[in-house]
Amino acid sequence: MNGKHLVKLGLEKKAIALAQTAATTRETAGLTRDDILSELRAVQQNPAAYATGGVYAPLAAELLAQQAILDARRGSDLRAQPLPYPTWGADLIDPGAHRQMDVAMRLPISRAGALMPDAHVGYGLPIGGVLATENAVIPYGVGVDIGCSMMLSVLPIQPGALRTDDATTLLLKHTRFGAGVAFDKRDRQDHEVLHESTWDDQPILRHLYDKAATQIGTSGSGNHFVEFGTLTLPTADLGLDPGEYLAVLSHSGSRGFGAQVAGHFTALAERHHPTLAPEAKKLAWLPLDHEDGQAYWQAMSLAGRYALANHHLIHTRLARALNVTPLAQVSNSHNLAWKQTVNGQDLIVHRKGATPAAPGQLGLIPGSMADPGYVIRGLGHDGALHSASHGAGRQLGRKAATSTLNKKDVQAYLTTRGVTLIGGGIDEAPQAYKRIEDVIARQEDLVDVIASFQPRVVRMDTGSEDI
* Binding-site annotation, residues for Mn(2+): 145, 224, 251, 334
Query: Which residues are part of a known binding site?
Result: 145, 223-227, 251, 334-335, 366-369, 390-393
Please give the backbone phi and psi of residue 146, each rounded to the nearest 5 degrees, phi first: -60, 135
DSSP calls for 285-324? -EETTSHHHHHHHHHHHHHHHHHHHHHHHHHHHHHHHHT-
Q: What is the Cα–Cα distance from 243 to 329, expressed in whole angstroms? A: 16
DSSP calls for 235-276? SSBTTB-SEEEEEEEEEE--HHHHHHHHHHHHHHHHHH-TTS
* CA 293 vs CA 3, 375, 433: distances in Å: 22, 34, 35
Q: What is the Cα–Cα distance from 409 to 285, expressed in whole angstroms? A: 44
DSSP H stretches of helix in 113-236: 139-142, 164-174, 203-215
Provide CB contacts within 8 A for 421, sequence distance 6+: 369, 414, 458, 460, 467
Query: Which residues are part of a known binding site for GMP?
Result: 223-227, 334-335, 366-369, 390-393
* CA 437 vs CA 131, 367, 368, 405: distances in Å: 25, 8, 11, 21
User: What's the one-letter identity of residue 464?
Assistant: S
Catalytically active residues, by annotation: 390
The 10 Å Cβ neighbour count of residue 12 is: 14
Q: What is the Cα–Cα distance from 75 to 80, expressed in whole angstroms? A: 13
Q: What is the Cα–Cα distance from 362 to 332, expressed in whole angstroms? A: 8
Q: What is the Cα–Cα distance from 440 to 226, expressed in whole angstroms? A: 22
Show the CA angle centred on residue 342, arms to residues 339 and 345, nearest 5°: 85
Provide CB contacts within 8 A for 218, sequence distance 6+: 175, 176, 177, 181, 182, 183, 252, 255, 310
